């Protein structure tokens, strides 16, 4: 079954990208660049879901959400 999750990519202090998936608590991975981080994220999500299946835990379904970047002057 194909599942889709929103992944958040953030530049890190090592020059790479750190990735989190808010629908999957505790899932954090990173890559040396965006392409590597994307591959690592896919693998991490697969492993996360496999672990839930083995533990007979429910697999989270991401709820619809909107993402909007805002700018403020402070």
Q: Which two tokens stand for residue 54?
A: 């083995």
* 18 lies in some domain: yes
Burial of 7 (0-12, 13-18, 19+ CB in 10 A): buried
- DSSP three-state, residue 69: coil
**pLDDT of amino acid 38:** 95
> What pLDDT shows up at residue 68?
67
In a domain, 36, yes or no: yes
| Residue 25: inside a domain | yes
The answer to whether residue 34 sits within a structural domain is: yes
Please give the tally of structural domains in the chain.
1
Displacement of CA 46 from its chain's centroid (Å): 11
pLDDT tens for each residue of the chain, 74 residues long: 889 999 999 999 989 999 999 999 999 999 999 999 999 999 999 999 999 999 999 999 987 766 667 778 87
The pTM for the full model equals 0.83
Give per-residue pLDDT as tens, 31-47.
999 999 999 999 999 99
Instruction: Indicate whether 23 belongs to any domain.
Output: yes
Ramachandran angles phi, psi of 54, nearest 5°: -60, -35
Q: Does the residue 73 lie in any domain? A: no
Q: Domain of residue 49: give its range.
A: 8-54
Question: Is 74 among the domain residues?
Answer: no
Asked if residue 3 is part of any domain, the answer here is no
Cβ distance 50 to 59 under 8 Å? Answer: no
């Amino acid at each position: 079954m194909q599942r889709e999750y929103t992944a958040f990519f953030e530049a890190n202090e090592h020059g790479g990208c750190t990735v989190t998936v808010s629908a999957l608590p505790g899932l954090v991975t990173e890559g040396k660049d965006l392409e590597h981080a994307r591959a690592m994220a896919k693998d991490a999500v697969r492993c996360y879901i496999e672990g839930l299946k083995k533990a007979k835990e429910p697999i989270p379904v991401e709820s619809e959400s909107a993402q909007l970047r805002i700018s403020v002057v402070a």
